[in-house]
Amino acid sequence: MNAHAPLRDEVGLITADPTPTLLGLLEVAGIDSIVIDAEQTGITVAACADAVQRLRGSGVRVGIRVPALDDDCLLAFANTGADELVLPRVRRVEELESAHRATRFPPEGERPRQVSPASRYGTAYAHVPVLSVLVETTDAVDAIEQFAAHPLFEGAWIGPTDLADDLARADRAGELDSTVQRVIDVVAASGHPIGLPAPSAARAAEVHARGANRAAVYWEREVTATLRTLAASRGAEDALSSRYNEPSSTK
């Protein structure tokens, strides 16, 4: 029997374009969280810090998918005051341990006491980000039980697209669906949050039905789908208009 209290189901967004309008809409719409994708997207530390400040006090949690796992990178994004850092390409628990040391103040870690938004500009050195493992490698999948049992483990996200590529490289292409389900089951059983991208906003419930408590919708993909629907609707309307405007045939 699982002794952990069940986690609340959540729906959030993933975006590489955290515009002021989008950020302003999150609280109005009742969105739980946003993950800003700063990995290979060109999103800067300053842009992430601006997003964190705009959403401070709104109840919307801000996560950042960081570009790399080196100490300087992790420290820079931790100093934005983000609630969560999503760690990409993690393969071993030792990488989680290293990230923990880099983002925790002494004596727990080695993080310098810098004047930054995270320290309330040098007045309080208490805020530290949750560290979530992004499971997108076969190594992370094979070590998921070890991750879930580790005392520093705080939760995970699954990156199915990159995971599919990594499984294919390991001649395990047919294992994606079962692998994703195993990761969900192991992490959920440990009582920690587990997130998975939703195919669309309308299908977020499918993520929860699989046992993951965090569903994330790619904002740019959702906007693209909406625009395509509008474009298709315009085409249908044009065809209908053309049909009704055709001159009647004569006999």
The whole-model pTM stands at: 0.90
| Domains located in the chain, CATH noted | 10-219 (3.20.20.60)
Collapsed DSSP state (helix, strand, coil) of residue 184? helix
pLDDT reading at 165 higher than 50:
yes
43-95 pLDDT per residue, tens: 999 999 999 999 999 999 999 999 999 999 999 999 999 999 999 999 999 99
Lowest mean pLDDT among 93-107, 176-190, 231-245: 231-245
Higher pLDDT, 97 or 248: 97
What is the C-alpha to C-alpha distance for residues 163 and 141, in angstroms, rounded to an integer?
Answer: 9
Report the pLDDT averaged over residues 206-225. Answer: 96
The reported pLDDT for the residue numbered 3 is 55
Cα angle for residues 50, 38, 150 (degrees, 5° grid): 105
The reported pLDDT for the residue numbered 233 is 84
The reported pLDDT for the residue numbered 250 is 46
Collapsed DSSP state (helix, strand, coil) of residue 109? coil
- Where are the extended beta strands (E) located within the chain? 10-15, 33-37, 61-65, 84-87, 130-135, 156-158, 194-197, 214-218
Higher pLDDT, 27 or 24: 24
Question: Which tokens hold the place of 154?
Answer: 């705080």
Q: Which distant-in-sequence residues (6+ apart) come within 8 Å of 53 by Cβ?
A: 81, 117
| Cα radius of gyration (the chain) | 22
How many CA atoms are closer than 13 Å to the CA of 162, on its beta-carbon side? 17
Q: Which distant-in-sequence residues (6+ apart) come within 8 Å of 115 by Cβ?
A: 121, 122
Collapsed DSSP state (helix, strand, coil) of residue 31? coil
pLDDT reading at 99 higher than 90:
yes
Position 6 confidence tier, pLDDT thresholds 50, 70, 90: confident
pLDDT reading at 183 higher than 90:
yes
159: enclosing H helix or E strand: none
Collapsed DSSP state (helix, strand, coil) of residue 61? strand
Which segments of 152-218 does DSSP mark as H helices, in order? 160-169, 176-189, 204-209
